[in-house]
């Protein structure tokens, strides 16, 4: 896989921090021209840091992916997209017994970003993709199972897999592969906030729950964003040329399906 991505244009949404930033850094390290797309107005800081670390060409694009006009403008200056990583998403609790005036708006916003935003991202990127290009959507192992209190997030990640499978069929005849990565627990800010909520539900400490989750895996501690990034590189590489319509777990064996 050494330098396979030299001069390839790679777009990564949700790339200010966490998995998205690690994935963007991994592609930049492999020689890609990377476009960081994120709603955080400080996205330029991330692009400068990745460029300094990797010596790659990194471009920052401030964009709310739930807004079609934002997405269209974001991609307007990119002539060609070889790889799209549709990673942007919101992870937050939406308990069914919570106050409706609070959680209904959260439910709508999560759905707008995680489902509609992913669709819009792919729709506008596809206009700049030719045969041989590849799309990877970030879902979650919660897109194959579920946990309490996270109805909107769980539902959106299930929807991501339905979208991925549909687009694999739709874009396959055009030579475009579409897959998904389903990360398990990863040490990101939103994931650790979810851990806190679940630990409270279980009436245990966050440290105890983290230990329990690590023991449910086949090996190792809860992974870092950098660990997960390799799954994306693999799925968009020549080594996965016949792989499409697949939801690949990157969870150290926590969910064996």
pLDDT in tens, 96-109: 998 998 899 999 99
CA-closest candidate to residue 33, choices 74, 78, 71, 87:
78
pTM: 0.94
Please report whether residue 257 resides in a domain.
Answer: no
pLDDT digit string, tens, across residues 50-109: 999 999 999 999 999 999 999 999 999 899 999 999 999 999 999 999 899 889 999 999
Please report whether residue 196 resides in a domain.
Answer: no
Instruction: Output the pLDDT for position 257.
Output: 61
Query: Domain range spanning residue 101?
Result: 9-186+224-250
Q: How many CB atoms lie within 10 A of CB 241?
A: 10
Please report whether residue 213 resides in a domain.
Answer: no
The tally of domains found in the chain comes to 1
Tokens found for residue 115: 């489902």
What lies within 8 Å, CB to CB, of 102 at 6+ separation is none
The active-site residue, picked from 27, 103, 153, 232, is 153
Is 5 catalytic? The answer is no
Q: How many CB atoms lie within 10 A of CB 127?
A: 10
Instruction: Output the pLDDT for position 1.
Output: 42
Please report whether residue 239 resides in a domain.
Answer: yes
| CATH of residue 140 | 3.40.50.720
pLDDT-flagged residues of the chain (< 70): 1-2, 257
């Amino acid at each position: 896989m050494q330098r396979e991505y030299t001069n390839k244009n790679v777009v990564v949404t949700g790339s200010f921090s966490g998995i998205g930033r690690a994935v963007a850094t991994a592609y930049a390290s492999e020689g890609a021209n990377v476009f960081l797309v994120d709603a955080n107005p400080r996205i330029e800081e991330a692009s400068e840091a990745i460029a300094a670390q990797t010596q790659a060409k990194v471009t920052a694009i401030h964009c709310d992916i739930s807004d079609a006009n934002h997405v269209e403008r974001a991609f307007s200056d990119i002539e060609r997209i070889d790889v799209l990583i549709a990673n942007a998403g919101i992870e937050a609790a939406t308990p069914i017994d919570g106050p409706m005036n609070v959680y209904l708006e959260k439910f709508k916003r999560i759905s707008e970003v995680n489902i509609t935003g992913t669709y819009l991202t792919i729709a506008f990127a596809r206009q700049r993709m030719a045969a041989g290009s590849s799309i990877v959507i970030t879902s979650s192992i919660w897109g194959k199972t579920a946990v309490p209190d996270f109805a909107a997030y769980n539902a959106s990640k299930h929807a991501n897999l339905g979208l991925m499978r549909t687009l694999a069929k739709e874009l396959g005849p055009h030579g475009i592969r579409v897959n998904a990565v389903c990360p398990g627990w990863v040490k990101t800010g939103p994931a650790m906030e979810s851990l806190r909520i679940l630990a409270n539900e279980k009436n245990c400490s966050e440290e105890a729950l983290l230990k329990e989750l690590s023991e449910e895996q086949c090996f190792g501690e809860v992974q870092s964003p950098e660990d997960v990034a390799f799954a994306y590189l693999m799925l968009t590489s020549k080594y996965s040329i016949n792989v499409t319509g697949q939801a690949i777990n990157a969870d150290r064996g926590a969910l064996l399906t």
